[in-house]
A and B are shown apart, each in its own frame.
Chain A
Amino acid sequence: MTEHQGEGIQSVDTLMDSTLDSVDAAEEAVLRVAQEIGFSEDDLHPIGMAVRECIVNAVVHGNRYNHRKKVHLGVRKSHDRIIVLVGDEGDGFDPRSVPDPLADENLLNQSGRGLLLIQAFMDHLEIRPRQPFGTEVRMVKYLVKEV
């Protein structure tokens, strides 16, 4: 794990194995940072769930449980937001290839809801190619302080 600090943003970067054990570890690491920022219990659950869905995608669909491939977890912490970066070393992913899980004809599909949940739970979601290969997901959740 490496940590950096600058311009009010603190970073933690971790390389994780392509196993389901990484799901719990990643959720724990992200929630620790989210708590430090001050996210409420109501926010922690969806953040954790989005992270879990994302790591599952990286392990299962991206790296296909390949023990030679790693999952790259990055957490960026600032006073008003948490940014989570999840990268895999897979063959790349086009989100347009996922059938719309809300379309009537897809409602009874067994899978394909992970991205929908991530979108619902986070304020911003971006999926982009990772260099030199793989896919990187960038998720942001903003801290909304009560006035």
Chain B
Amino acid sequence: MSVKLNIRQVGEVTVIDASGRITLGDGASTLRDEIRDLATKGDKKILMNLSEVSYIDSSGIGELVSGFTTITNHGGQLKLLGLSKRVKDLLQITKLYTVFEVFDDEAAAVRSFT
């Protein structure tokens, strides 16, 4: 199953609930388009909820990085929520734990935005 994205608002924070797979040819471009749309609309506080994502490959990781850069370049913040152990491992291997702010608790993640 390719990725499905649901957008909801929690206060000033835009939460992207992703589910399925974020891989080349499946969900990677969908995610890229959505984040670009949000950046263009002026959304600056983006919380990417990956708790229902079953699989991410290097292309998917690349799209998360691309999204981070896009939002940052628009003066915003993109943070991650609900990473599975496998996705956490990927962020460790790729050293992207030093780039992304990662949360397990949504309320704490929402509060963290400045």
Contacts and interface: CB of A to CB of B under 8 A. Distances in A.
Interface of A: 20, 23, 45, 49, 52-53, 56, 60, 101-102, 107-111, 113-114, 116-117, 120
Interface in B68-107: 68-69, 86, 90, 93-96, 98-99
Given A102-B94, A111-B59, A113-B94, 8 more contacts: A52-B57, A56-B59, A101-B95, A110-B66, A113-B58, A114-B58, A117-B90, A120-B93
B98 to A, nearest CB: 7
20 contacts: A45-B86, A49-B57, A52-B23, A52-B57, A53-B58, A56-B24, A56-B57, A60-B24, A101-B95, A107-B65, A107-B95, A108-B65, A109-B62, A110-B63, A111-B58, A111-B59, A111-B62, A116-B94, A117-B93, A120-B93
Contacts, number: 49
A20 B25 contact: yes
Contacts of B59: 56, 111
Chief secondary structure at chain A's binding surface: helix
Contacts of A108: 65, 68-69, 99
What's the dominant secondary structure at chain B's contact region? helix
Given A110-B62, A113-B58, A102 B95 contact: yes
Contact of B94 (A45, A56, A60, A101): A101
Contacts of A109: 62, 65
Given A116-B93, A116-B94, A110 B57 contact: no
Nearest to B99: A107
Contacts of A120: 93
Contact of B58 (A20, A23, A117): A117
**Complex A-B, nearest 10 residue pairs according to Cβ-Cβ distance, in ascending order:** A110-B62, A20-B25, A113-B58, A114-B58, A120-B93, A110-B66, A102-B95, A111-B62, A113-B94, A108-B69
A113 B61 contact: yes
A42 B83 CA distance: 17
Nearest to B93: A120
A120 B92 CA distance: 11
